[in-house]
Amino acid sequence: MLQHQKIVVIGGSSGIGLETAKQAAALGAEVIIASRSKAKLQKAKAELGPTASSYTLDTTQEQEVKSFFETVGRFDHLVVSAAETSGGPFLQTDTAKARQLFDNKFWGQYYAAKYGAPNIAPNGSITLFSGVVAYKSMIGSSVLGAVNAAVANLGQTLALELAPLRVNLVSPGIIDTPSRSQMPEEARNQFYDTIASKLPVKRVGKAEDVAQSVLYLIQNGFVTGTVLHVDGGHILT
Ligand SMILES: NC(=O)c1ccc[n+]([C@@H]2O[C@H](COP(=O)([O-])OP(=O)(O)OC[C@H]3O[C@@H](n4cnc5c(N)ncnc54)[C@H](OP(=O)(O)O)[C@@H]3O)[C@@H](O)[C@H]2O)c1
């Protein structure tokens, strides 16, 4: 149970982050969610109930991240699922777009760990997000794969440097979340069906699958420096 535990979920207004916040709240935690969009935060807060609080925050802005943690003060566990990702053929991808991916998913998590860690209880934890394309190369994911690998390496080194604070990583496979809401429905379903047919579990993931793993990493005091693959066996294919 997570009574009297304060959990900060950056990226908690959607998808895996929102589901993590819901599962943590159901276990009695006080949940704080943060992301950029006020509208998404409002909707998420309505789903989470009155004990949750929300803050607007853009993790690409170092000073914003610093002030956010000054406002939040002491807490127990940090989860950073915030990311906006994209892919495309290496030779046709603008360098600026590639840098944006690093700004958002790598530097965002870097700032969160840097300014969040000093406020976390010594028996607390940080969970960062990598992703399957760091471990299973896929055409069109050169930059995202590099970002995910960089985050995993950062997190594992922090597990040593920030000890006794525990630092772990989740590496989701293909998960059906609002992150693909811009894709036309038919193309999205086709993509999910193709992936599902290749996976040992014969389905793509749900936000709940990954959230369960985050809750495990938060609660198991003997796990640190781990990359937990929640991908339906994707890296074996
Ligand atoms: N879904 C998948 O198939 C999959 C696969 C591998 C890895 N992952 C990883 O899993 C994590 C969660 O993904 P998801 O599928 O749950 O995505 P999602 O549903 O799109 O949620 C992403 C969250 O991040 C927030 N966010 C994005 N950029 C931000 C920024 N600069 N500052 C603050 N908040 C920001 C978004 O809210 P705002 O728009 O309000 O900022 C939203 O709450 C990500 O790290 C993603 O790369 C997902």
Q: What is the pLDDT of residue 51?
A: 87
Phi, psi of 73 (to 5 degrees): 75, -150
Q: Is residue 182 part of a domain?
A: no
> Does the C-beta of 133 come closer than 6 Å to ligand 1?
no
Range list of H helices, the chain: 15-26, 38-48, 62-72, 95-101, 108-116, 142-161, 185-198, 207-219
Ligand 1 centroid, distance to 51 Cα (angstroms): 23
In a 10 Å sphere around its CB, with 0-12 CB exposed, 13-18 middle and 19+ buried, how is residue 130 labelled?
buried
**175 vs 206: CA distance, rounded Å:** 5
Residue 80 pairs in a beta bridge with 10, 128
Q: Is residue 223 part of a domain?
A: yes
Q: Is residue 1 part of a domain?
A: no
Atom 11, ligand 1: which residue's CA is nearest?
A: 81
Using CA atoms, how far residue 176 sits from 50, 77, 99, 121, 222, in Å, is 27, 25, 26, 33, 30
Ligand 1 atom closest to 174 (CA): 3
**34 vs 21: CA distance, rounded Å:** 11
Q: Is residue 31 part of a domain?
A: yes
**199 vs 44: CA distance, rounded Å:** 31
Helix (H) / strand (E) element for 114: namely helix 108-116
Q: Is residue 188 part of a domain?
A: no
Q: SS3 of 176, please?
A: strand
Q: What is the pLDDT of residue 108?
A: 98
The CATH number of residue 42's host domain is 3.40.50.720
Ligand 1 centroid, distance to 15 Cα (angstroms): 7
Q: Is residue 171 part of a domain?
A: yes
Domain count, the chain: 1
Domain assignment of residue 57, given as a range: 6-176+205-236
> Does the C-beta of 141 come closer than 6 Å to ligand 1?
no
Both tokens of residue 120?
């976390």
Q: Is residue 200 part of a domain?
A: no
Low-confidence ranges of the chain (pLDDT < 70): none
Q: What is the pLDDT of residue 2?
A: 95
Q: Is residue 88 part of a domain?
A: yes
